[in-house]
Amino acid sequence: MRTLVIGTGNKHKVQEIAPLLGGLNVNLRAAGEFGPFNPVEDGNTLEENALIKARAAYQMSHEWSISDDTGLEIDALNGRPGIYAARYAGEGCSFEDNIYKVLREMKGVPIKKRTAKFACVIALCIPGQKAQTFRGECKGWIRTDRRGNGGFGYDPIFVISGLEKTFAELTTEEKNTISHRAIATKKCRDALAALLK
């Protein structure tokens, strides 16, 4: 069985990614199991930051490694928070701090102008091969208040286009069929399946 290291310290991501990679002959491990995992994410794009983390996980573990980076691009905020989604309200901020800042900045913006998209990029590092990246996107809009008790991050205020539910109102199974991370992970899973043959 091949060890696959996930370059993250975020337990939510490991929990979300694990079911999406089901059926692959891999043993998932977090990069944090090999030592402190705090790579500096100083890239300018999701692709660059995902690669920084996947390469750091590989250097620590010397195993096949993947990592993702996720961003939320809100049109009314000129694409912010973008790659800074996790730390939009400042270093050490909570999910609630980030939501509060977004809602405050968007006060008075009409529903039709609250369009947004979530994007996720997964990077894959394998010895002797060029690193690969896989992108998934999910379009929607930002509510004026929170709705739903599931998920994490901006899930309670992001409404999925065509579904008219927030990510926080979906079950994990539902989220794993339509989310930006699900789309990117499926592309990565297909590549992994081919490599594992």
Mean per-residue pLDDT pooled into runs of 10, the chain (197 residues): 86 75 89 90 95 96 95 97 94 94 97 97 94 97 95 94 95 89 93 92
pLDDT of res. 10: 67
pTM over 0.75: yes
Active site residue 69: yes
User: Would you state the CATH architecture of domain 2-196?
Assistant: Alpha-Beta Complex (3.90)
Cα separation, 54 vs 51, whole angstroms: 5
pLDDT of res. 132: 97
pLDDT of res. 60: 93
pLDDT of res. 17: 77
Q: Which helix (H) or strand (E) holds 92?
A: none
Q: What is the Cα 187 distance to its own chain's centre?
A: 14
User: Nearest CA to 148 among 139, 134, 160, 135?
Assistant: 160
- The two tokens of residue 19 are 């079911």
Catalytic residue among 69, 97, 155, 190: 69
pLDDT of res. 13: 67
CA dihedral over 166, 21, 13, 102, signed as positive or negative = negative
Name residues whose C-beta falls within 8 Å of residue 48's C-beta, 6 or more positions apart in sequence: none
Domain ranges of the chain: 2-196
